[in-house]
A and B are shown apart, each in its own frame.
Chain A
Amino acid sequence: MSKAVISKLQSEFGDGILEKNAFRGDDEVRIAASDWVKVATYLRDEQGMDHFIDLTAIDYPEREPEEPRFDVTVSLRNHDTSARVRVRTRVEDGASLPTLSTVWSGANWAEREVWDMFGIPFEGHPDLRRILMYDQFEGHPLRKDYPIQRAQPLVAYRDVPRVAKLAPFGVEEGQPFARIDWAARLDGADAQVSPSIALQSGQRRALSDSDIHHGDAVAPASEE
């Protein structure tokens, strides 16, 4: 049933469907951002995709500048036939996407969340403001270059003098396995934390080889 929808999409939009995919049975198409509302309206009106499932974004900062940074996907379902379809598009950092809240009212909060977490504005959205974070928050947390431990407290932390507590784990503390230091990776320092994964991905050295752990035992590489 979902395949039928995909083929109808292809016959309707032809070249507008830039890519088609069915990895693990998930039927999806990729379209240009300019066709976003057109395809959505077609799916709702002609293909009966009246059940809005989800709208979200994925950040690929390493794709820049050749490809736009963000992937925005919307998942839809046809209530009568249970067919499911996913439509995705690519959006550049700083560019906006037209809103789908006029097509499905459920997209309202989903787009607010994408705005809040990724910083992708939606044109025509009736009420685009932060939904999970507070208004005074600066930055967009789910972007890969936002460090996870950077907190922006609204209430200044008080001193807790007589309670001995250990600091929470940072990237260099505790066991570094499987953690990716995105700040270093995006800076081009190519530093993956775990040595074995660093080797596998072809990186020259891992963060744990640096001076932080071994002092002057390892000669630092030419970068740095």
Chain B
Amino acid sequence: MAGMTEFKTGESNFFTTKFEEILAWSRKYSLFQYPFATACCGMEFMQTASPVYDIARFGAEAPRFSPRQADVLWVVGTISQRQAPVLKRIYEQMTDPKWVVAFGTCASCGGFYDNYTTVPGVDKVIPVDVYIPGCPPRPEAVLDALMLLQEKIQSGASGAPLVVPPREVPKLAQLGVNKRQAIGATAVYPEGTIK
């Protein structure tokens, strides 16, 4: 391990790069979260961790409520001006390597709380790696963001944030009363499907 941290630039060889890759691989699949949950997004965070959407299959289900033991700071919910120093302190107490996920629009940009008491985005206080828009974001969006973070960890990127285009372009929904008939939708719970 000592050789890993002390090599100078230009001296990386096959073993150190391979080692970094393996290290990144192990880090990204065993993220310990610090769920800094404040508001409504906490509910969707719970659902992401729940059996239906299951964040555990990504290896990221272990919450550690001590910043010293956590890798990822999930800022879940609105941060008020009063809470900002607390958040900053928690971030500073986390040990490297650490990443920050701004979960929800309130954490990303203040949401629709444009007033005297809301911090307009957590990145005004701490640096953020992944932003998840949504009020609250669907669990699928959260898992997508987690996968983005994993890619970021693997590639070691610390570069400029980019807006990720949707992976598939969804068909436009038809407006009108007959929407459900038009897309051939059936009832949510056909007989006998809930287990």
Residues of A with Cβ closer than 8 Å to B? 133-134, 137, 141, 146-155, 157-158, 160, 162-163, 165, 168-169
Contact = CB atoms under 8 A, between A and B. Distances in A.
B90 interface: no
Contacts of B124: 153, 157-158, 160
B116 A141 contact: yes
17 contacts: A146-B116, A148-B114, A153-B81, A154-B81, A154-B85, A155-B85, A155-B88, A155-B125, A157-B124, A157-B125, A158-B124, A160-B121, A162-B160, A163-B123, A163-B161, A165-B121, A168-B110
A137 B115 CA distance: 14
A168 to B, nearest CB: 4
A162 B81 contact: no
A134 B119 CA distance: 14
Query: Range of interface residues on chain B?
Result: 20 to 34
Contacts of A163: 123, 161
B38 interface: no
B36 to A, nearest CB: 15
Contacts of A158: 123-127
A72 to B, nearest CB: 22
Interface string B98-121: 000000000001100011111111
A168 B116 contact: no
B84 interface: yes
B167 to A, nearest CB: 22
Contact of B81 (A147, A149, A151): A151
Interface in B70-96: 81-82, 84-85, 88
B114 A134 contact: no
Interface of B: 81-82, 84-85, 88, 109-110, 114-121, 123-127, 160-161
Given A151-B81, A153-B84, A162 B117 contact: no
A141 B117 contact: yes
A169 B85 CA distance: 25
B116 A148 contact: yes
Contacts of A154: 81-82, 84-85
Q: B interface, by DSSP: helix, strand, loop or mixed? A: loop
Contacts of B126: 158
B120 A168 contact: yes
A148 B115 contact: yes
Nearest to B113: A168
- The residue among B116, B124, B125, B160 with the most chain A CB atoms within 10 A of its own CB is B116
A151 B120 CA distance: 10
B88 A134 contact: no
Contacts of A146: 116
Given A155-B84, A165-B109, A160 B123 contact: yes
Given A151-B117, A165-B109, A168-B110, A134 B82 contact: yes
Nearest to B160: A162
Contacts of A148: 114-116
A135 B49 CA distance: 37
Contacts of A137: 81
Nearest to B131: A163
Contact of A150 (B116, B118, B125, B161): B116
A137 B123 CA distance: 22
A147 B84 CA distance: 21
Contact of B114 (A133, A149, A153, A165): A149
Contacts of A169: 114
Nearest to B121: A165
Contacts of B161: 162-163
Nearest to A153: B81
Contacts of B82: 133-134, 154
Given A157-B124, A165-B109, A168-B110, A151 B116 contact: yes
